[in-house]
Structure 1
Amino acid sequence: MPETGPPPIPRATYRPQFHAGFGFRDAAALAPYLARLGVSHVYASPYLKARPGSSHGYDIVDHGVLNPELGSEAEFRAMSAVFKENGLGQVLDFVPNHMGVGGADNPWWLDVLEWGPDSDYAGWFDIDWDPDRRYLYNKLLVPFLGDQYGAVLEAGQLELRFEPEMGGFAVWAYGTHKLPICPLHYERVLGDAHPELEQLGDAFSGLPNWRPRVAARARDLQAELAALTRERADVREAVDAAVRRLNGQPGKFETWRALDALIQDQHWRAAHFRVAADDINYRRFFNINELAGLRMELPELFDHAHRFVFSLLEDGTLEGLRIDHIDGLLDPKGYLERLREAAPRPFYLVVEKILSRHEFLRDDWPVEGTTGYEFANLVLGLLVDPAGEEGFTRTYAEFIRGGEPFAETVRDCKLRIMLNEMASELNVLARDAARVARQNPRTADFTRNILQRALKEIVTCFPVYRTYVDGTVSPTEADRRDIDWAIAQARRNETDLDPSVFDFLHRLLTTDMVAEPRSGFSRHSVVRFAMRVQQYSGPVMAKGLEDTAFYRYNRFVALNEVGGHPDHFGVPLPAFHKANAQRAARWPHAMLGTSTHDTKRGEDTRARLAVLSEMPEEWAQQVQTWSRILRARRGDVEGTAPPDRNDEYLFYQLLLGAWPAELTGTGMPEPEALRGFAERMEGAMVKSMREAKRHTTWAAPNTAYEEGMLSFVREALAPSRSGTFLDAFLPFQERVARLGFRNSLVQTALKLTLPGMPDIYQGTELWDLSLVDPDNRRPVDYDLRRRVLEEVSAALARDRAETTATMLEEWHDGRLKLALTATLLAHRREHPTLYAESTYEPVAVSGPKADHLCTFTRRHGEDALLVVAARFPARLEANSGWSNTTLAWPQGAAGVTHWRDLLSGRVVESRGEVAGVGALVGEQPVAVLAPDSRGRA
């Protein structure tokens, strides 16, 4: 029987990214540092077996073994032992929605390619074996070719090979993708030129007589063939000759006819990668052909995929799981309930879930919370000055000479995704909707075309990633609200369609049409359709919003973050407090993240850019000046040559946000010092342009346009060629960076003190001025961090006040951020109940600068914490001091007469009912105060 009881709750986690360059031995060496930093758990990226060369681990090919590129089983066990010796548990990022396919590494996928719908694993992948595209009946589309099938075949890049170890035959595309030949067709390969091979070929052709042991009998025959070729040179030569007869000569298409005929009879159809948009017949992770969706709702698949991870939970190696892409599953709630029931012991469980602005995590999901995208945007929103929105909007429109509302950008991008990369999935949904319609005479005349147009518009208008209708109960109020909204908007947009089609789809998506018996509709078909639409709307939102619209709408890119809302400029203080109080009440152990492997900008890049919201007029002047300088140098005074004005505007924001701290305030940098940063900027701009899909794309790069942008970047960052630009840029950059680091410290303190469980992404204990991945997955200099932690800890132990003041002045090296992180993690370790179970209460502030402060208390029994965080540093710099601005002492902390700032050690005596803010924060942007042991009433 599984153990019962509350799950272990991490105090704080640290996220390292495992890959071939950072394996189990590297992580083990990190354990003493992480323990000293103060986290309780290592939050590991996926380390189950992935495709060779994977840089992230999300393309798992075997859930049952460790990734050999990360190290051996012994090294993994040694790492886990070292973690435990240092008081560190583990939380694993687990991927249930999809697997890596293609290549030659996924045994399930290869078996499906070999046997088609008769494979034992055919039902485990989400494959449509009976599509409208009849040429794919009982076939699996394999869209991995870089050119038309015929061209690849003629070029000799589809080659039949014999595999002597297994005794099998497969076609290899580019020598990389293995496409097995079905053993039923081996006779056509082996031929009759050799008597033993003729006999074996005959045995392979007789495999159907061995049902239901066809596959097992085939393995026996393959083993016999392998043994023969090992033992007898004449047999091996005969096999090689048979293979040569089928392979042609590169450049001579007629010589490939025999292999083509054999390929046509297989259970796979090799095709150009672009064919996937129209004809894909397996569910993918978003639109990535190499990641195939799994039907994790199947009990036998669930048991198989989780067996190894459950063993790690059972022996205590793991204490928690982070579930990747929960919205990709057919039934997220059902999956999570089964996960809890089947696990051998209680464990910490969070889900990667992106919440829309009005959306809340489902109360009936048995989880501790989300991985914190909404928190990252909440904290950033607190630092953004809403007073700057009008100026920013005007500057953006004037600079790019046009523009459209963000909602229109999102709509256009979602439509583009459905008309291009994900058109095939929409076709299938329309087909299935038409099949349901034909089940009842009242709806039989709804054609597939009409239903497809209506569905496309509904999905475009969905205000959330997905709903969670599952047919077990009536749709929730939240699901009905979102479906009602989407259909109401779709009706207004698609006025050429008869309104009745939207009535039909409304009843279909809510499953209302089968709420009563004898509806005339198949309940199974209706519920299945509604759930499949939910699996489709999420990827469309992700690809349309995050991966397209976020790269087109560049008004203020600090807001263009995963889970963010670029059209909402800042978070009002009451809304910030309300969100934290709700988390404390419902999800007190949710993960709080400010950087992840998926964030578009580093946490300190965003915090620095937030300063711009306070100076919209100055920002407008700066970008116009920079543009004139750089455009004039290129002879483009009118600003019409590449890059376009929108990409240029993005470049200035990224340049300002990511400019290295060590190059700030040092004058004109040397060319060598800028070279690495320039390469990072070029990579980020290429990705941004291709994701925007306006001038260039991943599938069809426009090298001329891209080179125009890259040469623009190079000229801007070459001191010998653009000294005038850098002379204009650097003073403003220095000011913004100097103010931005104060935002960074506030952001760090809030993550470590607000209700929830904080996570630190690898390396971000020092400044994280990264750009979009892969820039945010660069190697981390842990030797530097170990050294800085040792030095800072020793200095603080000698004199906290002086050390803090020095670090505040010398902010460039990031020591103050690491010191703040370690200090607050130490306090969390010493007061676990305060952070895990305490209340959250805003503290009233009054005076002329009340809106500059975010103050709150955490209390549990007699233990308490008071946090005073200053925001809007540019406005504070222009009007310094906290004169006449006060806050009310926490009423529930009766008896506390002295409070100590944890970082600086400064002690404040609580006299009367209010305190002057200046006495609490001093020169620091944030103060975290705890009752001081020297005095209680």
Structure 2
Amino acid sequence: MGAVREAVTSTYRVQLTPEFGFRELADLIGYLRDLGVGHVYLSPVLQSVPDSQHGYDVVDHAHVRAEFGGREELVALAGQGLGLIADIVPNHMTVPVPESANAALWSVLKDGPESPYADWFDLTWPVDLPVLGDDPELVVDGDVLRYHEHEFPIRAGTEGLPLHELLVAQHYRLVSWRDSPGYRRFFDVSSLIGLRVEDPAVFDATHGVMLSLVADGVIDGLRVDHPDGLADPYGYLRRLRARAPGPVWVEKILMDGERLPPDWDCDGTTGYDALNMVTRLFVDPAARDRLVRAFTRHTGMPDDYDHVKYDGKKQVLDLFFRGEVDRLAAALGEPGLRDALVELLAAMPVYRAYVNPGEEPGEEATRVIQSAAWEAAAHADPAAVAKVAQLVLRGPAEAVTRFQQTCGPVMAKGVEDTALYRWFPLASLNEVGGEPDRFGVSPAEFHAFCTEMRPTTMTTLSTHDTKRSEDVRARLAVLSEIPDIWADAVESWAGAVRFDPKLDYLAWQTLMAAWPISPERFTKYLLKAAREAKTSISWQNREQGYEKGIREFAAKAIELCGYSVAAFTRVVDRYARVNSLGQKVVQLMMPGVPDVYQGNEITDFSLVDPDNRRPVDYARRRELLKSGEDSWDGDKLLVTTTALHLRGRLTPGAPYLPIETGEHAVAFARGDQAVAVATRLPYRLERAGGWRHESLRLPPGSWQDLLTGSEHTGLIPMAHLLSRYPVAILERNTQ
């Protein structure tokens, strides 16, 4: 190994599983190379729970995952000649069942502060472990304490004590599974315990294997999972970059208008900011009021998304984060500030404001927290809110850091996993980092966004974490052009099958946009959506009668309305195909490093995880790449492979140059090498009589449309340029 790799021109994200490891991926390298992929982008590769389907539950940082083939097979995969990008998980590792599978954690539970791993975790002694159910049948088995499938070490010298005394004598306390743990965790997931990678020794121990793979040339670049959970993201990235000079991307969720901190030593984000802008580009903002009215009429929810967002944050603060808030309130060092602290957390508009203890807060961080304080003062004592704001900006080090690390989980659980499942006038806008009340952007707004992008940042349309795939969103975008027709369709379906008004409207959008879908997949999605929404049930309170009702609704909706839904979707697909190809061209050709999520080189109608992590039918894709096909699948594959190969020839960082169009198109050049054109709002375009006399002026020179082989120059009628496909990918002729 050790060969110098070329710059990353594109990535292809692969979800590794015990059934699909390094050897199976190696068999795909020829296909991915033919597709035009620059680098393969791997899900986490370190040892996790043996049956894990995602790999974010790491148990051992010292080994490459055995189920994938270990380090030997990973090296062999790299030897296939296609560069590798790897996902790393610095924020947390798992609390497995049985707990002995995590040797570092086992040592901490056994030996307490004397453990060599005691500094690994952000915890409070004795450590509360939320595992107990309604039947606390604890069994002492030698030097191990057992509770069903759980097991815990018994502190040396306490083995012979009576059970009640033995429990009190441990370095941990077993508490109800509903209680908060005595350690920082990932969001509200008590099975994922936070790591203190701000400690150089912990950083070295948890990054040694991955950094050795980088040093040996096996891995070319890294994707950092959830940097906002870290005590000091800036310091972490600086330390990482010193040991990993290749590209580094961060899974940083940027809210609308937010920018990546300019001092972060990384190449950019993993692309949710680009995803949301591309999605909005294909949504008609003129339908906003009608879609919101239809949504509120069916659900009874308010038309004010901000109100729903606030309620979601307040609910999760009470349900999930009481322990975190209590520790943070204590760290403030002054009594009587808890209510004000809760309101400040609920008012934070972004996942995190970046403040480091002992340093003067930056202008942007100060603005964000003061803005949140202004909002919070409407719900709590203004003087107390102002005091909390000052303390989290310039107060005790623990308070400053804990506030930063708590903001992200509150935003993620309160908005991403609550409000977005409650407020969905157009569900394609309900994405990670999305603002569902921001209906559409104009080509001019999109151009302005692109001109400010880092050339090295990642762009994407679908990931393992998106709420719905790009093609599901392409179908939903059509509804913004036909809001009245859509409202009539929902009235018809709801007249045949009803269940819960707060869920049904999301169900009809999902059924249409993911069609065809089995009752099993549909039911699983609706169960997750209802549990996340927390309006009738939740993950903590699963009501059997309600969940039975969901299953019956899903089956009846497909049985009684499936024919009508299928007919509606067939009409929608005439325009959804245009959106699908358009957003793909835009994402693959706009600034940044384009990422394709596994399988999405053709149509994919997956929903939120684990639905979007199902095995991919690569045999179908291989055959389609060889034979071609006059279909939506064939067209999308042609667009993808054409754009990826062109990106391989494009000068890295080629300037983004907007090209003037009417409202039904978006076009731009990349330097003097390439031009991309995509159709927007195709239903309204058709109703207006098509392109008629509209033309597009190409930059100087002769241009070849790589999709059709046609050559163009100068002023081209849109009806001619887009006669075969609703998109065009042009490359400048150099001869």
Q: TM-score surpassing 0.5?
A: yes
**Percent identity among equivalent residues?**
40
TM-superposed CA distance for 1:588, in Å, is 0.3
Match of 1:360 among 229, 243, 259: 259
Higher mean C-alpha displacement, 23-32 vs 769-778:
23-32
Whether the 8 Å CA contact 1:388–1:613 is kept in 2: the answer is yes
Alpha-carbon separation, structure 2, partners of 1:358 and 1:509:
23
Deviations 1:481-510 (A, max 9, x none): 11110101111222xx2x332332222122
Q: Does 1:453 align with 2:437?
A: no
Unpaired stretches in structure 1, ≥5 consecutive residues: 130-138, 163-168, 190-257, 438-446, 514-525, 632-642, 661-675, 793-805
Alpha-carbon separation, structure 1, partners of 2:538 and 2:659:
50
Secondary structure, aligned partner of 1:380: helix
In structure 2, the residue matched to 1:132 is none
Whether the 8 Å CA contact 1:8–1:348 is kept in 2: the answer is no
What residue identity is the alignment partner of 1:161? D
Q: Does 1:826 align with 2:645?
A: yes
Q: Does 1:626 align with 2:427?
A: no
- Cα distance, 1:411–1:590 mapped onto 2, change above 3 Å: same
What residue identity is the alignment partner of 1:822? T
Match of 2:725 among 915, 921, 924: 924
- Cα distance, 1:8–1:477 mapped onto 2, change above 3 Å: farther
Secondary structure, aligned partner of 1:818: helix
- Cα distance, 1:8–1:61 mapped onto 2, change above 3 Å: farther
TM-superposed CA distance for 1:8, in Å, is 5.6
Deviations 1:193-227 (A, max 9, x none): xxxxxxxxxxxxxxxxxxxxxxxxxxxxxxxxxxx
Q: Does 1:851 align with 2:663?
A: yes
In structure 1, the residue matched to 2:147 is 173
Alpha-carbon separation, structure 2, partners of 1:310 and 1:401:
53
In structure 2, the residue matched to 1:113 is 109
Alpha-carbon separation, structure 1, partners of 2:301 and 2:654:
50
Alignment of 1:377-396 (within 5 A): 377-396=276-295
Q: Does 1:159 align with 2:63?
A: no
Whether the 8 Å CA contact 2:461–2:470 is kept in 1: the answer is yes
In structure 2, the residue matched to 1:733 is 569
What residue identity is the alignment partner of 1:828? R
TM-superposed CA distance for 1:472, in Å, is 5.3
In structure 1, the residue matched to 2:26 is 28
Alpha-carbon separation, structure 2, partners of 1:871 and 1:844:
14
Alignment of 1:56-71 (within 5 A): 56-71=54-69
Whether the 8 Å CA contact 1:430–1:452 is kept in 2: the answer is yes
Alignment of 1:669-684 (within 5 A): 677-684=518-525
Deviations 1:206-251 (A, max 9, x none): xxxxxxxxxxxxxxxxxxxxxxxxxxxxxxxxxxxxxxxxxxxxxx
Alpha-carbon separation, structure 1, partners of 2:241 and 2:5:
10
Alpha-carbon separation, structure 2, partners of 1:903 and 1:115:
65
Alpha-carbon separation, structure 2, partners of 1:77 and 1:172:
40
Whether the 8 Å CA contact 2:650–2:673 is kept in 1: the answer is no
Match of 2:682 among 873, 888, 895: 873
In structure 1, the residue matched to 2:208 is 307
Deviations 1:535-594 (A, max 9, x none): 0011000000000111111211111111111011111222110110001xxx10111111
Match of 2:590 among 746, 750, 754: 754
Q: Does 1:787 align with 2:673?
A: no
Whether the 8 Å CA contact 1:908–1:919 is kept in 2: the answer is no
Match of 2:389 among 494, 502, 506: 506
TM-superposed CA distance for 1:159, in Å, is 2.5
Match of 1:901 among 695, 705, 710: 705
In structure 2, the residue matched to 1:670 is none
Whether the 8 Å CA contact 1:9–1:589 is kept in 2: the answer is no
In structure 1, the residue matched to 2:315 is 416
Secondary structure, aligned partner of 1:322: strand
Alpha-carbon separation, structure 2, partners of 1:458 and 1:821:
45
Secondary structure, aligned partner of 1:274: coil
Alignment of 1:341-740 (within 5 A): 341-343=242-244, 346-433=245-332, 435=333, 437=334, 447=335, 450-471=336-357, 473-494=359-380, 497=381, 499-511=382-394, 526-583=396-453, 587-631=454-498, 643-660=499-516, 677-718=518-559, 722=560, 725-740=561-576
Deviations 1:267-289 (A, max 9, x none): 1212221122xxx2200000111
Whether the 8 Å CA contact 2:10–2:644 is kept in 1: the answer is yes
What residue identity is the alignment partner of 1:474? E
In structure 1, the residue matched to 2:230 is 329
Match of 1:842 among 658, 668, 676: 658
Alignment of 1:8-19 (within 5 A): 9-19=7-17
Deviations 1:751-777 (A, max 9, x none): 111111011111111111111111000
Whether the 8 Å CA contact 2:59–2:96 is kept in 1: the answer is no
- Cα distance, 1:900–1:621 mapped onto 2, change above 3 Å: same
Whether the 8 Å CA contact 1:20–1:55 is kept in 2: the answer is yes
Whether the 8 Å CA contact 1:468–1:531 is kept in 2: the answer is no
Match of 2:673 among 864, 869, 876: 864
Whether the 8 Å CA contact 1:102–1:144 is kept in 2: the answer is no
Whether the 8 Å CA contact 2:288–2:439 is kept in 1: the answer is yes
Deviations 1:602-621 (A, max 9, x none): 11000111000001111111
Whether the 8 Å CA contact 1:871–1:925 is kept in 2: the answer is no
Which structure features the higher share of helix residues? 1
Alpha-carbon separation, structure 2, partners of 1:605 and 1:419:
34
Alpha-carbon separation, structure 2, partners of 1:917 and 1:867:
13
What residue identity is the alignment partner of 2:346? T
Alpha-carbon separation, structure 2, partners of 1:682 and 1:825:
36
Alpha-carbon separation, structure 2, partners of 1:629 and 1:59:
43
Instruction: Could you list the structure 1 runs, at least 4 aligned residues long, displaced by more than 4 angstroms after superposition.
Output: none
Secondary structure, aligned partner of 1:182: coil
Match of 1:90 among 84, 87, 96: 84
Alpha-carbon separation, structure 1, partners of 2:681 and 2:393:
46
Deviations 1:249-273 (A, max 9, x none): xxxxxxxxx3343223111212221
What residue identity is the alignment partner of 2:144? A
Secondary structure, aligned partner of 2:167: helix
Alpha-carbon separation, structure 2, partners of 1:400 and 1:506:
37
Alpha-carbon separation, structure 1, partners of 2:13 and 2:133:
36
Alpha-carbon separation, structure 2, partners of 1:73 and 1:359:
39
Aligned-pair RMSD on alpha carbons?
Answer: 1.8
Match of 2:93 among 90, 99, 107: 99
Secondary structure, aligned partner of 1:160: strand
In structure 1, the residue matched to 2:42 is 44
When the two structures are aligned, how many residues end up with a matched partner?
A: 732
Deviations 1:849-877 (A, max 9, x none): x1111111111xxx421222110011122
Alpha-carbon separation, structure 1, partners of 2:47 and 2:452:
39
TM-superposed CA distance for 1:76, in Å, is 2.5
Which structure: larger Rg?
1
- Cα distance, 1:74–1:102 mapped onto 2, change above 3 Å: closer
Alpha-carbon separation, structure 2, partners of 1:487 and 1:627:
43
TM-superposed CA distance for 1:841, in Å, is 1.3
In structure 1, the residue matched to 2:171 is 267
Higher mean C-alpha displacement, 760-769 vs 729-738:
729-738
In structure 2, the residue matched to 1:281 is 182
Whether the 8 Å CA contact 2:511–2:565 is kept in 1: the answer is no
Whether the 8 Å CA contact 2:63–2:70 is kept in 1: the answer is no
What residue identity is the alignment partner of 1:656? M
Alpha-carbon separation, structure 2, partners of 1:596 and 1:690:
22
What residue identity is the alignment partner of 2:183? Y
Deviations 1:648-704 (A, max 9, x none): 1111000111013xxxxxxxxxxxxxxx62211111000000010111111120121
What residue identity is the alignment partner of 1:65? H
Whether the 8 Å CA contact 1:13–1:39 is kept in 2: the answer is yes
Alpha-carbon separation, structure 2, partners of 1:771 and 1:731:
21
Whether the 8 Å CA contact 2:337–2:384 is kept in 1: the answer is yes
